[in-house]
Chains A and B, each alone.
Chain A
Amino acid sequence: MDLLRASVLYRESGGTPYTLVVLAGELDATNSQQLRNLLDAEISAGLRTLIVELSGLKFIDSSSLQVLLRCSRMLGSQGGVLRLVRPVGSVARMLHFTRADQLVRAYDNVEQAAAD
């Protein structure tokens, strides 16, 4: 099953380049590897700020959360940062219950995430 939709955009905000990944649909064991490959490609491209927009994401399982946390840590170790935008509903609750929200910061919109 492939219910994940992902798009990648490269943008600049006040001179700071960042990559925006917009995720929508459901993230689970069937497509978490796909997400990992996508994020790994961005990380190895040497980017510094990765913003993942989540408002269209309805479901996230633990293997996909792990992919996000791993990505955040890898970026951190190369001087970059992962920022989340608008996790909603059950996705926001999972980030809270697992305390993933202590490791990756979430913002209300992309502009705020890019400006921080």
Chain B
Amino acid sequence: MATPLNPPPGAADKLRDIQSITDTALSHLGAEDLLIELLSRVKQILDADTAAVLLLDRSSRYLISTAASGLEEEVAQGVRIPVGRGFAGRIAAEARPVILDQVNHSNVLNPILLGKGIHSLIGVPLLINSAVTGVLHVGSVHDRVFTTDDAVLLQLAADRAALAVQSLRSREDRAAAAAIQRSLLPSAPPTVTGVEIAARYVPGDGRVGGDWYDVFTLPSGELCVVIGDVAGSGLEAAIIMGRMRSALRAYALETRDPAEVLRRLDHKMQHFETDVMATVSYAVLDPASGELRISAAGHFPPVVTAPGQHGALAEIAVGVPIGVADTPEWQATTLRLTLGAVLCFFTDGLVERRDTPLDDRIARLCETVSPGPPESVCASVMGALVGSDHVRDDIALLVLRWQPDTGDPSV
């Protein structure tokens, strides 16, 4: 077989086109600017009039117009295309390129494309790990026949766009999840005579998750303490955590029984959310008497200790997690705290490690929790159980000391 001495005609142009799309200089742009620049280059290379990127929304049912060149009104008007319908919807549903030589009402839904006088279209899916995340399409106001070579080039641009969008989305999600955590974790616990509180929250792998703690007072003067963990991580878990936190606060105002609060919380979560599991521990302390009523849904009991005692997991009734059973039941346990008692509430991120048995870690925690000031207990616990470890799961920790004023200046 003869080898051509010269590259086929147009090869140099093609190479230049590919370089224009894979240009590393594009990486220095933010994701939004990269999309716009990429669209404008694609439009130029394919000698087209319009280029647009639509991204799949969170429900995965609609494509939302996100960036455009020569078709800016699509973005401005917030065009939404149902997956499976119209031109872009078909590309998303079939996860493959579609070429339309002749645009008409039967193959295009979007009135903006029709109104713009576009005659021919070519579009490709944005793919991450073979899953469709959006659509990139290019249009011409003249009749023309886009080729499979055009589709290959466009797919190259779409792959580039998909990566940029993924990194933008994960950055945005992280920022949003962190903002939710920041706004919901109490910055300063309420001041209640006879009770001192300190807490820590550490995101796992730098990624915020569904752990939370909450401290608030009731009109009766009682102090409520919550610690919980929504399974999962990232923005979804943080949003659900926020909803659970508000719901629990609302039910706390309605009923004194912590187990009933968990029942209502479970009912609410099972009705309004799908596939949510959370573990929660909820306690109500009467600061005058030291009586603590507590109920737990699949959550670790707190470590309890007091002067002259060794720390141990509190012996309380624990029921199943929130969101997983048809007819769940929870019970409340009443504990009578002794003077100077310390309670340490925590989430699994503190004690679950791959290289050490869970019971060893819990034993270590129990040894570390001392009947001292909550700030120093928090510091010792984090020092002993986390140290400088790289933590994968997020950690919430809340320490409370019951120290009613007895006039003893030594404490």
Contacts and interface: CB of A to CB of B under 8 A. Distances in A.
Given A69-B277, A93-B359, A63 B231 contact: yes
A105 interface: no
Given A62-B348, A73-B326, A97-B300, A90 B358 contact: yes
Interface residues of A, number: 24
A53 interface: no
B354 A26 contact: yes
Q: Mostly helix, strand, loop or mixed at chain B's interface? A: loop
B354 A29 contact: no
B357 A66 contact: no
Interface string A85-116: 00001100110011110110000000000000
Interface string B82-124: 0000000000000000000000000000000000000000000
Given A70-B324, A99-B319, A58 B277 contact: no
Interface in B36-78: none
B202 to A, nearest CB: 16
Contact of B320 (A59, A89, A90, A100): A100
A63 B232 contact: yes
Contacts of B232: 29, 63, 66
A29 B300 contact: no
Size range of the interface on B? 20 to 34
Contacts of B321: 69, 98-100
B168 interface: no
B358 A94 contact: yes
A93 B359 CA distance: 8
A10 to B, nearest CB: 27
A99 B358 contact: no
A42 interface: no
Contact of A94 (B275, B324, B326, B352): B352
Interface of B: 229, 231-233, 275, 277, 279, 298-300, 318-321, 324-326, 348, 352, 354, 357-359, 392-393
Given A70-B275, A89-B357, 10 more contacts: A26-B354, A29-B233, A62-B277, A70-B277, A70-B324, A93-B357, A94-B352, A98-B298, A98-B299, A98-B321
